[in-house]
Amino acid sequence: MQMADLLNRKKAGLALTASEIEYFVAGFTAGSIPDYQASALLMAICLRGMTDEEAAILTDCMARSGDMLDLSAVDGVTADKHSTGGVGDKTTLIVAPLCAAAGLKIAKMSGRGLGHTGGTVDKLESIPGFRVTLSNEAFFEQVNRVGVSVIGQTGNLAPADKKIYALRDATQTVDSIALIAASIMSKKLAAGARNLVLDVKCGSGAFMQTQEDAQHLARLMVEIGKRCGRRVTAVITDMDTPLGTHIGNALEVTEALEILQNRGDKDLRVLCLALSAQLLKSGLGLSDDKAMQKAEQILKSGAAYKKFLEMVEAQGGDAELLRRNPDFLHAKCSRTVPAPRDGYIVHMQTRVVGESAQLLGAGRAKKDDAIDYAAGLVLHKKTGNLCRAGEPLVTLYAADAARLDEGEARFLSALEFGDVPPQKKPLILGKVE
């Protein structure tokens, strides 16, 4: 087999065979297929697309390019969630303990963030003492005993994805829906859980800007999951305004603790319940209504809150500190920014709000940048809210005044004011089951 044949077939818009896809993934991962040929194939895929079957085969080959986590040491029904990423997304901190309190086993490997704030692992590391590195034995033991563990990615999970993603990044081929779906799902297949809920975000703070693209991506990932023997459902959700009110690592843990104690932002609560109910439905075989009732009952009873603290304690974190003081980490400097005028917030460029958090110190611009766990912002007003000039709009947290200045200017540039309220968009835009 030769790369030239694959390139010609894809250039002509034909489907690649399973053995051709295997040849490409194995050869490129091993280094025998050079970057220039791989780049040409990725561009041809970008322009010509892939069938569902090709995308599923590509995903499976990428998953098998490294370690496949064997969760057979976990007793019970394994479940995982994935979000395509957005601003203020702390849902894992709520959904994982909630589903564990309902009896599912959540053995979750999560990433660090590059961009506006850290990833789930960075958020958890903001808790004093919390360990995100566990041996496989300790990880499985905790999942069996507590029901949930969230750790950083270990081992050699989907190395083909790492190599292909780096090339896509350099060749403007990131935005192929087939390649995005294969990239995300290869890591999820390798991570081993049988049940998976995907939160596919769409809007100005998301990877997918339109609902149509989000729907395509969700449908394809669910289809790939099915073809690869996993139960996958997807929820398509709005990311045209940040999720919840807190953006930043420790700040997001604080907000998650509020929801876990049955208080806090209504939209964030609704989304966490919807994602949890999807997992309870597929993992426990419940109807939609029963799954939602169970999720609500667990949240209201405080069982999810207790489970979160149990997980924190099991991973060495100071659960007692969180119990005593949910607002557990304070930045050196803060500033409350007043609304510049009377009017409704008609739009927040959510990605720009995220950039403001990064300038405050909450995120990384480069892989090795340090994060300031206490940095970030708390929104007092969001899209649709009426503001009076001078009313508190947002409180910014950072290590120094220069960062506050930068964060403030970027934050204000994200806002659009108007005299009439914008049309309210639903938070949950669709589901794919």
- Indicate which residues carry an active-site annotation: 82, 161, 168, 183, 187
d(CA 359, CA 62): 35
Instruction: Identify the residue among 117, 120, 183, 233 touching ligand URA (CB under 6 A).
Output: 183
Selected range binding ligand URA among 176-184, 208-216, 235-243, 404-412, rule: CB under 6 A = 176-184
- The site map against ligand URA for 109-148 (x = CB under 6 A) is ----------------------------------------
Side-chain half-sphere of 211: how many Cα atoms within 13 Å? 13
Sign of CA dihedral 207, 405, 379, 339: negative
Instruction: Identify the residue among 180, 251, 322, 379 touching ligand URA (CB under 6 A).
Output: 180
Provide the residue type at 371 as one letter. Answer: I
Residues 431 and 236 sit within 8 Å (Cβ to Cβ): yes
The dihedrals phi and psi of 255, each to the nearest 5 degrees, come to -70, -40
What does the radius of gyration of the chain's CA atoms come to, in whole angstroms? 22
| DSSP-assigned beta bridge partners for residue 338 | 392
Q: How far is the CB of 115 from ligand URA (least distance, A)?
A: 11
Q: How far is the CB of 166 from ligand URA (least distance, A)?
A: 11
d(CA 377, CA 331): 11
- Give start and end residues of each alpha helix (H) in 159-265: 159-170, 177-191, 211-227, 249-260
Nearest to 353, CA basis, from 268, 426, 412, 266:
412
Nearer to ligand URA by C-beta: 81 or 410? 81
Nearer to ligand URA by C-beta: 183 or 249? 183
d(CA 132, CA 125): 7
Instruction: Identify the residue among 184, 217, 251, 375 touching ligand URA (CB under 6 A).
Output: 184
Nearer to ligand URA by C-beta: 235 or 250? 235
- Give start and end residues of each alpha helix (H) in 78-171: 92-101, 120-125, 136-146, 159-170
| Interface size with ligand URA, residues (CB under 6 A) | 6
Q: How far is the CB of 161 from ligand URA (least distance, A)?
A: 7
- The site map against ligand URA for 258-297 (x = CB under 6 A) is ----------------------------------------
Q: State the Cα torsion 145-148-152-158 to the nearest 10°.
A: 100
Chain position whose Cβ is nearest to ligand URA: 183
Q: How far is the CB of 85 from ligand URA (least distance, A)?
A: 7
Residues 194-233 that bind ligand URA (CB under 6 A): 207
Q: How far is the CB of 207 from ligand URA (least distance, A)?
A: 6
Selected range binding ligand URA among 116-124, 144-152, 178-186, 405-413, rule: CB under 6 A = 178-186
Provide the residue type at 377 as one letter. Answer: L
Provide the residue type at 262 as one letter. Answer: N
DSSP state letter for 71: G
Nearer to ligand URA by C-beta: 183 or 245? 183
Nearer to ligand URA by C-beta: 100 or 178? 178
Q: Which residues bind ligand URA (CB under 6 A)?
A: 165, 174, 180, 183-184, 207
